[in-house]
Chain A
Amino acid sequence: MSTSLYERIGGEAAVDAAVDVFYRKVLSDPRIAEFFDSVDMDLQRAKQKAFLTYAFGGPNHYSGKDLRAAHAHMKLTDQHFDAVVEHLAATLTELGVPAEHIAEVAAIAASVRGHVLNR
Chain B
Amino acid sequence: MHAEIDVDARHATLEFEGARYPLLPSESVLDCLLRHGVQVSSCCRSGACQSCMLKVNAGRVPPASQRGIKATHQQQGLFLACMCKPTSDLSISRCEAAPSYASRVVRSERLSEGVLGVWLERPNELEFRAGQFLQLSRTTDGLMRPYSIASLPEQGPIELHVALLEHGRMSGWLQRAAGENVQIRGPFGECYYQEQEPERPLLLAGTGTGLAPLLGVVRAAIHAGHRAPITLFHGVRERAGLYMAAELGQLARDAAPLRLVASVLDADTFELPGWRVERAALDQLILSQYPKLNAHRLYFCGNPSLVQRLKRGAFLAGAALANIHSDPFVLPAAVAA
Contacts and interface: CB of A to CB of B under 8 A. Distances in A.
B46 A61 contact: yes
B253 interface: no
A49 B315 contact: no
Nearest to B311: A41
Contacts of B320: 20
Of all A-B residue pairs in the complex, the 3 with the closest CB atoms, nearest first, are: A50-B48, A50-B49, A46-B50
B46 A59 contact: yes
Interface residues of A, number: 25
Given A38-B308, A42-B70, A43-B50, A50 B316 contact: no
B43 to A, nearest CB: 6
Contacts of B48: 15, 46, 49-50, 53, 60
Interface in B310-335: 311-312, 315-316, 320-321, 324
Interface in A14-36: 15-16, 20, 23-24, 27-28
B43 A50 contact: yes
A28 B49 contact: no
A17 to B, nearest CB: 12
19 contacts: A20-B320, A20-B321, A23-B315, A24-B315, A24-B316, A37-B308, A38-B308, A41-B311, A42-B321, A46-B48, A46-B49, A46-B51, A47-B49, A50-B43, A50-B48, A50-B49, A53-B48, A61-B46, A62-B44
Interface in A43-78: 43, 45-47, 49-50, 53-54, 58-62, 66
Contacts of A42: 50, 70, 321
B316 A49 contact: no
Q: Which of B48, B50, B70, B324 has the most chain A CB atoms inside 10 A of its CB?
A: B48
B312 A49 contact: no
B50 A60 contact: no
The majority secondary structure among interface residues of chain A is helix
A45 B50 CA distance: 10
B44 A60 contact: yes
A28 B44 CA distance: 26
Nearest to A66: B43
Nearest to B42: A61
A30 to B, nearest CB: 13
Residue from the set A28, A38, A43, A60 with the largest chain B CB neighbour count within 10 Å: A60
A61 B44 contact: yes
B64 to A, nearest CB: 11
Given A20-B320, A50-B44, A61-B46, 18 more contacts: A23-B315, A27-B312, A28-B316, A41-B315, A41-B324, A42-B50, A42-B321, A43-B50, A46-B49, A47-B49, A49-B49, A50-B46, A53-B44, A53-B46, A54-B44, A61-B43, A61-B44, A61-B45
A23 B320 CA distance: 11
A24 to B, nearest CB: 6
A24 B46 CA distance: 24
A58 B49 CA distance: 13
A27 B43 contact: no
B68 interface: yes
B312 A60 contact: no
B160 to A, nearest CB: 25
Q: Which of A15, A20, A46, A49 has the most CB atoms of chain B within a 10 A radius of its CB?
A: A46
Interface string A95-115: 000000000000000000000
A27 B316 contact: yes
Interface in B29-53: 43-46, 48-51
Contacts of A59: 46
B315 A27 contact: yes
Contacts of B311: 41
Most buried by A among B46, B49, B50, B308: B49
A37 B321 CA distance: 16
